[in-house]
Structure 1
């Protein structure tokens, strides 16, 4: 299963970093290139295990992601309930840790492509897509965290 992982150290408290990583709506869209629109669905009002979020990316991809692990403010994970037709599975996890160098945030993405699409999508292409997606999103998160540090 192709995966990508990115880690940054940010100058905000772990609790604030976790909160930023799980922001929705306008706040999320301001920093996350993977989320032009994001909101809770199916009656959810807060993120916790079992919560489902709708995410529409700037690239037009749409996902329903279900939170599968929720350990605020240290870690969370989610999996795709519904998404692009070519994806068999997709998941994200975030780990936040207080260190002497600042708050360490690690974001991991995993994806599996449906067999019918494999002739068109090579393993290298899938890995390149998920690595680029992870790096773009982490860069946006890091910039937003630095802006928060200066504004607080």
Structure 2
């Protein structure tokens, strides 16, 4: 199964880096230009294991995903429940570790996927690796900018200190 991954060091501690990665609309749209719409499903109001989300990309593709792990501040993982016809399997996750420089975090974003139908899988997965690799690098660059955006940081900080 192909895996694409991108990493970046951001100038915030792991707790805040994790919180930025989990921001929701409209704050999420400030740093994640891939998404045109995203919201929780089934009455959920915050991320947690088992919570489902709906996401629509700016290109129009949509996906329903479910959190399969949610362990602040170290990692989060999701899997596709329903999505584009060409994905048989799609999953993604974040991992956060303290960077060498105090107060900084190494953030890693990873996707793994399998395409179908089976007879086109080798070519589809080669193309998918290239496209998703390009997209994940763009998204993590946006995330890094979000980790310096005062509006994003304020919203993420508030999520760390719920009222």
Common fold, TM-score beyond 0.5? yes
- The aligned counterpart of 2:58 is 58
Shift of 1:117: 7.3
Shift of 1:116: 5.7
SS in 2 for 1:118: helix
- The aligned counterpart of 2:22 is 22
Deviations along 1:19-59, one digit per CA (max 9) or x if unpaired, are: 11011111111211221111101111111110101111111
List runs of 5+ in structure 1 lacking aligned partners. Answer: none
Following the alignment from structure 2 to structure 1, what is the Cα–Cα distance between the partners of residues 133 and 76?
Answer: 20
Q: When the two structures are aligned, how many residues end up with a matched partner?
A: 151
After the TM superposition, which segments of 4 or more aligned residues of structure 1 sit over 6 Å from their partners?
Answer: none
Shift of 1:119: 6.8
List runs of 5+ in structure 2 lacking aligned partners. Answer: 155-163
Following the alignment from structure 1 to structure 2, what is the Cα–Cα distance between the partners of residues 74 and 36?
Answer: 27
Root-mean-square deviation over aligned CA pairs? 2.0
Stretch moving more, 48-57 or 96-105: 96-105
Deviations along 1:75-119, one digit per CA (max 9) or x if unpaired, are: 010000011111111111101112222211000011111116727
- The aligned counterpart of 2:161 is none
Query: Aligned in 2, Cα 1:80/1:14: closer, same or farther, shift over 3 Å?
Result: same
